[in-house]
Amino acid sequence: MIICTLCRRREAFFFRAYSGERLCRRCFCLSIERKVKTAISKYGMFEPDDRIAVAVSGGKDSLSLLHILSKIEKSFPKATLTAVIVDEGIKGYRDEAMKIAKKNCEKSDVGHIIVSFKELYGYALDEIAEMTEDTKLTPCSYCGVLRRRAINTAAKLAGASKVATAHNLDDETQTALLNIIHGDPIRILRVKPMLDPIQPGLVQRVKPLCEVPEREVALYAYVKKIAFQILPCPYSGSALRNDVRGILNRLEEKHPGMKYTIHRSMEKIRSLLEQSKLKTALSDCEKCGEPTVGKICQTCQILEALKRGRT
């Protein structure tokens, strides 16, 4: 029997190549929770009296995050937790995810708020996908922008002071590489574990899973018997992101710890960019008043384009 490196008592079931540890189930789960707590304190993500909204999709990442945060929250009696669930309107996919999400909220004794694309924007994502079939953009490009706004709207409805999303280490490194590929320094600056505070109209976003590899989040959900949706979204991710994911996974396999190395390198690049004159100040969108980098926010641009396509 191979013994756990940490407790030296129980049988190891997982080999963590980047640290050389062999872990039993219990020590593995504790190590994941520790990684989350470390990220929370390293980036100063929460105050003891924060009203936290967790964006819950029904997938393994967001449900593991809900599980971990509801555990942590118990030690902070003044903090509150609410799940926000966005119904994008994806037939045969989102309905199941929402059921699973709601069940998990009940189990963790966390209240929830649901907002839908149809209610907020007048269109379900299925309708948008149909209307934009002939354009270059994929449904994910629309979904990403509209979903971000919907989460912010729901978080405001919940009276939240922070909104936690379930981006893991893999998501963060993929986004970092994509931003480099697109030569987008502003996004390199803005996409980080904790968004800059005090942007009026935006509930501050934090990513407590940013230092947990995707594979380990999945394993955590499995060991903790968290029921999550397995069915992939019919529109799935963009082709380029999928390629970047493949490259990063191959790199990680050959050079364990590579994702952490990229994550740390991005922190250094970001801190240098922060010292430069690059500005990311937000102003109010001329149409809806929500914060935006340009004059008209991406949500309004999308909704205008959809309206034009219809009329």
Distance of closest approach, residue 24 Cβ to Zn ion, in angstroms = 3
Quick one: which of 19, 20, 21, 24 contacts Zn ion (CB under 5 A)?
Answer: 24
Comparing CB distances to Zn ion, the nearer of 2 and 7 is 7
Site for Zn ion in 25-44 (CB under 5 A): 27
* Residue of the chain from 3, 7, 17, 239 that contacts Zn ion (CB under 5 A): 7
Q: State the binding partner of 4 from Zn ion, ligand SF4, none, CB within 5 to 8 A by kind.
A: Zn ion
Task: State the binding partner of 237 from Zn ion, ligand SF4, none, CB within 5 to 8 A by kind.
Answer: ligand SF4
Task: From the list ligand SF4, Zn ion, none, pick the one residue 208 interacts with, judged by a Cβ distance below 5 to 8 Å according to partner type.
Answer: none
Which one of Zn ion, ligand SF4, none interacts with residue 236, CB within 5 to 8 A by kind? ligand SF4
Query: What HEC string does the chain produce?
Result: CCECCCCCCCECCEEECCCCEEECHHHHHHHHHHHHHHHHHHCCCCCCCCEEEEECCCCHHHHHHHHHHHHHHCCCCCCEEEEEEEECCCCCCHHHHHHHHHHHHHHHCCEEEEEEHHHHHCCCHHHHHHHCCCCCCCHHHHHHHHHHHHHHHHHHHCCCCEEECCCCHHHHHHHHHHHHHCCCHHHHHHCCCECCCCECCECEEECCCCCCCHHHHHHHHHHCCCCCCCCCCCCCCCHHHHHHHHHHHHHHHHCCCHHHHHHHHHHHHHHHHHHCCCCCCCEECCCCCCEECCCCCHHHHHHHHHHHHHC
7 binds, among Zn ion, ligand SF4, none (CB under 5 to 8 A by kind): Zn ion
Q: Could you tell me the smallest distance in angstroms from the CB atom of residue 143 to ligand SF4?
A: 3
Report in angstroms how near the CB of residue 139 gets to Zn ion at its nearest: 43
Binding to Zn ion (CB under 5 A): which residues in 272-311?
Answer: none
Which of 6, 30, 223, 240 contacts Zn ion by CB under 5 A?
6
Distance between CA 218 and CA 236 in Å, rounded?
A: 18
Question: Which residues would be at the binding site for ligand SF4 (CB under 6 A)?
Answer: 88, 139-140, 143-144, 233, 235-237
Q: Measured from the CB of residue 225, what is the shortest distance to Zn ion in angstroms?
A: 19
Q: For residue 153, how far is the Cα from the chain centroid?
A: 16
Our CB check for ligand SF4 shows the closer of 236 and 265 to be 236
Query: Which CB atom, from 18 or from 76, has the smaller least distance to Zn ion?
Result: 18
- State which residue, 1 or 230, has the beta carbon closest to Zn ion: 1
Supply the minimum distance, in Å, between the C-beta of residue 28 and Zn ion: 8
Q: How far apart are the first and last CA of the chain?
A: 69
Residues at the interface with Zn ion (CB under 5 A): 4, 6-7, 10, 24, 27
